[in-house]
Amino acid sequence: MSDHSNKPDFKEIAGQLGCPSGDKGIKTAEAMAVNNGNMIGLTIAGLSPKSNDVILEIGPGNGSHVISLLANTKHLLYYGVDISALMISEAIKLNTTAVACGRADFSLSDGMQLNFADGFFTKIFTVNTLYFWKDPKAYATEIRRVLKPGGIFILTFAPREFMEKLPFTQYGFHLYSREEAEELLIGSGFEILEVHLHKEMVRSNSAGMEVEREIILINAVK
Protein backbone atom coordinates (compact mmCIF):
# COMPACT_ATOMS: atom_id res chain seq x y z
CA MET A 1 0.00 0.00 0.00
CA SER A 2 1.36 3.42 -0.92
CA ASP A 3 2.18 5.90 1.82
CA HIS A 4 0.44 9.26 1.37
CA SER A 5 1.46 10.64 4.78
CA ASN A 6 4.16 12.87 3.30
CA LYS A 7 2.07 14.27 0.46
CA PRO A 8 1.31 18.00 0.79
CA ASP A 9 -2.21 18.91 1.91
CA PHE A 10 -2.81 21.63 -0.66
CA LYS A 11 -6.10 22.74 0.88
CA GLU A 12 -4.40 23.24 4.24
CA ILE A 13 -1.53 25.11 2.59
CA ALA A 14 -4.03 27.43 0.89
CA GLY A 15 -5.84 28.03 4.17
CA GLN A 16 -2.63 28.92 5.97
CA LEU A 17 -1.55 31.28 3.20
CA GLY A 18 -4.91 33.03 3.34
CA CYS A 19 -5.12 33.27 7.14
CA PRO A 20 -2.24 31.74 9.13
CA SER A 21 -3.16 30.10 12.43
CA GLY A 22 -1.63 27.82 15.06
CA ASP A 23 1.92 26.47 15.04
CA LYS A 24 1.81 25.87 11.30
CA GLY A 25 0.70 29.46 10.84
CA ILE A 26 3.87 30.75 12.50
CA LYS A 27 6.00 28.62 10.17
CA THR A 28 3.91 29.72 7.19
CA ALA A 29 4.44 33.36 8.15
CA GLU A 30 8.19 32.85 8.40
CA ALA A 31 8.23 31.22 4.96
CA MET A 32 6.09 34.02 3.49
CA ALA A 33 8.41 36.66 4.94
CA VAL A 34 11.26 35.03 3.00
CA ASN A 35 9.37 34.23 -0.21
CA ASN A 36 7.65 37.61 -0.36
CA GLY A 37 10.67 39.59 0.80
CA ASN A 38 11.65 40.79 -2.66
CA MET A 39 8.05 41.65 -3.57
CA ILE A 40 7.69 43.66 -0.36
CA GLY A 41 11.02 45.40 -0.93
CA LEU A 42 10.10 46.37 -4.49
CA THR A 43 6.72 47.64 -3.32
CA ILE A 44 8.12 49.76 -0.50
CA ALA A 45 10.76 51.17 -2.85
CA GLY A 46 7.95 52.06 -5.27
CA LEU A 47 6.15 53.94 -2.51
CA SER A 48 9.26 56.13 -1.91
CA PRO A 49 8.50 56.56 1.82
CA LYS A 50 9.11 60.07 3.09
CA SER A 51 9.36 61.65 6.50
CA ASN A 52 5.88 62.29 7.96
CA ASP A 53 4.19 59.76 5.65
CA VAL A 54 1.38 57.79 7.24
CA ILE A 55 1.45 54.36 5.60
CA LEU A 56 -1.01 51.48 5.73
CA GLU A 57 -0.10 47.92 4.83
CA ILE A 58 -2.87 45.42 4.27
CA GLY A 59 -1.70 41.93 5.21
CA PRO A 60 1.72 42.49 6.86
CA GLY A 61 2.08 38.87 7.96
CA ASN A 62 4.53 38.71 10.86
CA GLY A 63 5.74 42.24 10.07
CA SER A 64 9.42 41.35 10.03
CA HIS A 65 10.05 43.93 7.29
CA VAL A 66 8.60 46.85 9.25
CA ILE A 67 11.73 47.34 11.39
CA SER A 68 13.85 48.32 8.40
CA LEU A 69 11.08 50.47 6.90
CA LEU A 70 10.90 52.58 10.06
CA ALA A 71 14.67 52.64 10.51
CA ASN A 72 15.18 53.99 7.00
CA THR A 73 12.65 56.82 7.25
CA LYS A 74 12.38 59.14 10.25
CA HIS A 75 9.02 60.36 11.50
CA LEU A 76 7.14 57.82 9.36
CA LEU A 77 4.06 56.26 10.93
CA TYR A 78 3.13 52.71 9.94
CA TYR A 79 -0.18 50.87 10.34
CA GLY A 80 -0.74 47.22 9.49
CA VAL A 81 -4.08 45.39 9.33
CA ASP A 82 -4.49 41.65 8.94
CA ILE A 83 -7.33 39.13 9.04
CA SER A 84 -5.17 36.74 11.09
CA ALA A 85 -5.12 37.32 14.86
CA LEU A 86 -1.95 35.23 15.01
CA MET A 87 -0.18 37.52 12.53
CA ILE A 88 -1.15 40.58 14.53
CA SER A 89 0.29 39.10 17.72
CA GLU A 90 3.46 37.99 15.94
CA ALA A 91 3.93 41.39 14.30
CA ILE A 92 3.52 43.16 17.64
CA LYS A 93 6.14 40.84 19.19
CA LEU A 94 8.63 41.51 16.39
CA ASN A 95 8.04 45.28 16.50
CA THR A 96 7.68 45.82 20.25
CA THR A 97 9.78 48.99 20.39
CA ALA A 98 8.09 50.64 17.42
CA VAL A 99 4.64 49.81 18.80
CA ALA A 100 5.57 51.07 22.26
CA CYS A 101 6.77 54.44 20.94
CA GLY A 102 3.75 54.86 18.67
CA ARG A 103 5.46 54.53 15.29
CA ALA A 104 3.79 51.22 14.43
CA ASP A 105 0.29 49.92 14.99
CA PHE A 106 -1.08 46.48 14.12
CA SER A 107 -4.80 45.69 14.26
CA LEU A 108 -7.19 42.92 13.32
CA SER A 109 -9.34 43.47 10.24
CA ASP A 110 -12.41 41.73 8.84
CA GLY A 111 -11.05 42.09 5.31
CA MET A 112 -14.00 44.24 4.30
CA GLN A 113 -13.85 47.49 6.25
CA LEU A 114 -10.94 49.66 7.33
CA ASN A 115 -11.52 51.37 10.67
CA PHE A 116 -9.86 54.65 9.79
CA ALA A 117 -11.11 58.11 8.86
CA ASP A 118 -11.43 59.28 5.27
CA GLY A 119 -8.09 60.38 3.84
CA PHE A 120 -6.13 59.14 6.85
CA PHE A 121 -3.17 57.69 4.92
CA THR A 122 -0.69 59.25 2.51
CA LYS A 123 0.27 55.86 1.05
CA ILE A 124 -1.12 52.31 1.13
CA PHE A 125 0.29 49.02 -0.10
CA THR A 126 -0.51 45.34 -0.09
CA VAL A 127 1.42 42.28 -1.29
CA ASN A 128 -0.24 38.98 -2.23
CA THR A 129 -3.58 39.63 -0.51
CA LEU A 130 -5.66 40.40 -3.61
CA TYR A 131 -6.55 36.72 -4.10
CA PHE A 132 -8.43 36.66 -0.78
CA TRP A 133 -10.52 39.84 -0.97
CA LYS A 134 -14.12 38.87 -0.20
CA ASP A 135 -15.72 41.69 -2.20
CA PRO A 136 -12.92 43.07 -4.41
CA LYS A 137 -14.61 46.21 -5.73
CA ALA A 138 -16.03 47.18 -2.35
CA TYR A 139 -12.65 46.65 -0.69
CA ALA A 140 -10.75 48.60 -3.33
CA THR A 141 -13.27 51.41 -2.82
CA GLU A 142 -12.70 51.21 0.94
CA ILE A 143 -8.93 51.44 0.41
CA ARG A 144 -9.45 54.51 -1.73
CA ARG A 145 -11.67 56.06 0.95
CA VAL A 146 -8.95 56.00 3.63
CA LEU A 147 -6.31 57.36 1.21
CA LYS A 148 -5.84 61.11 1.03
CA PRO A 149 -6.45 62.86 -2.34
CA GLY A 150 -3.34 62.42 -4.44
CA GLY A 151 -2.22 59.51 -2.25
CA ILE A 152 -0.54 56.43 -3.70
CA PHE A 153 -1.73 52.83 -3.53
CA ILE A 154 0.48 49.99 -4.76
CA LEU A 155 -1.16 46.64 -5.43
CA THR A 156 1.39 43.83 -5.77
CA PHE A 157 0.51 40.29 -6.81
CA ALA A 158 1.43 37.36 -9.03
CA PRO A 159 -0.76 37.01 -12.14
CA ARG A 160 -3.15 34.21 -12.96
CA GLU A 161 -0.80 32.84 -15.62
CA PHE A 162 1.68 31.95 -12.88
CA MET A 163 -0.65 31.28 -9.95
CA GLU A 164 -2.86 28.77 -11.76
CA LYS A 165 0.14 26.46 -12.12
CA LEU A 166 0.35 26.08 -8.33
CA PRO A 167 -1.69 23.17 -6.94
CA PHE A 168 -3.01 25.00 -3.85
CA THR A 169 -4.56 27.99 -5.64
CA GLN A 170 -7.67 26.00 -6.52
CA TYR A 171 -8.67 26.32 -2.85
CA GLY A 172 -10.07 29.76 -2.04
CA PHE A 173 -7.87 31.85 -4.34
CA HIS A 174 -9.38 34.37 -6.78
CA LEU A 175 -6.78 34.84 -9.47
CA TYR A 176 -6.28 37.94 -11.61
CA SER A 177 -4.58 38.93 -14.83
CA ARG A 178 -2.88 42.31 -15.01
CA GLU A 179 -5.80 43.67 -17.04
CA GLU A 180 -8.41 42.43 -14.54
CA ALA A 181 -6.57 43.99 -11.61
CA GLU A 182 -6.27 47.30 -13.43
CA GLU A 183 -9.98 47.22 -14.29
CA LEU A 184 -10.77 46.55 -10.63
CA LEU A 185 -8.85 49.62 -9.47
CA ILE A 186 -10.16 51.89 -12.22
CA GLY A 187 -13.70 50.72 -11.50
CA SER A 188 -13.17 51.68 -7.86
CA GLY A 189 -12.12 55.22 -8.70
CA PHE A 190 -8.34 54.93 -8.90
CA GLU A 191 -6.16 56.27 -11.69
CA ILE A 192 -3.35 53.97 -12.83
CA LEU A 193 -0.01 55.79 -12.84
CA GLU A 194 2.27 52.97 -13.95
CA VAL A 195 2.67 49.20 -13.91
CA HIS A 196 5.94 47.42 -13.20
CA LEU A 197 6.62 43.81 -14.19
CA HIS A 198 9.31 41.69 -12.55
CA LYS A 199 10.44 38.08 -12.40
CA GLU A 200 12.17 36.30 -9.54
CA MET A 201 13.15 32.83 -8.36
CA VAL A 202 11.35 31.60 -5.24
CA ARG A 203 10.94 28.31 -3.40
CA SER A 204 7.53 26.75 -4.02
CA ASN A 205 5.40 26.13 -0.91
CA SER A 206 4.12 22.91 -2.44
CA ALA A 207 6.87 21.46 -4.59
CA GLY A 208 9.82 22.40 -2.40
CA MET A 209 11.76 23.54 -5.45
CA GLU A 210 12.78 26.81 -7.09
CA VAL A 211 10.26 28.29 -9.54
CA GLU A 212 10.24 31.50 -11.56
CA ARG A 213 7.52 33.84 -10.34
CA GLU A 214 6.11 36.77 -12.26
CA ILE A 215 5.34 39.89 -10.21
CA ILE A 216 3.04 42.79 -11.03
CA LEU A 217 3.11 46.12 -9.19
CA ILE A 218 0.25 48.45 -10.04
CA ASN A 219 0.90 52.00 -8.88
CA ALA A 220 -2.40 53.87 -8.56
CA VAL A 221 -3.42 57.29 -7.28
CA LYS A 222 -6.59 58.66 -5.70
Task: Please give the span between the terminal C-alpha atoms of the chain, in angstroms, as a whole number.
Answer: 59
CATH number at residue 137: 3.40.50.150
Q: Judge whether 168 lies within some domain.
A: yes
Summarised one tens digit per residue, pLDDT across range 157-212 is 999 999 998 877 888 899 999 999 999 999 999 999 999 999 998 876 555 668 88
Domain hosting 107: range is 10-221
Q: Judge whether 1 lies within some domain.
A: no
| Euclidean distance between CA atoms 38 and 42, whole angstroms | 6
Q: Judge whether 167 lies within some domain.
A: yes
User: pLDDT grade, residue 221 (50/70/90)?
Assistant: very high
Q: Judge whether 70 lies within some domain.
A: yes
Contact 43, 154 (CB under 8 A): yes
**pLDDT surpassing 80 at residue 125:** yes
Q: Judge whether 145 lies within some domain.
A: yes
**pLDDT surpassing 80 at residue 19:** no
Q: Judge whether 5 lies within some domain.
A: no
Strand 210-221 relative to strand 191-203, pairing: antiparallel
| Euclidean distance between CA atoms 145 and 119, whole angstroms | 6
Q: Judge whether 131 lies within some domain.
A: yes
Q: How many domains in the chain?
A: 1
Q: What DSSP line would sit under 127-174, residue for residue?
A: ES-GGG-SSHHHHHHHHHHTEEEEEEEEEEE--HHHHTTSGGGGTT--
Does the model's pTM come out above 0.85? yes
Q: Judge whether 4 lies within some domain.
A: no
The share of the chain scoring above pLDDT 70, in percent, equals 85
Question: 7: Cβ–Cβ under 8 A, 6 or more apart, which residues?
Answer: none
**pLDDT surpassing 60 at residue 1:** no
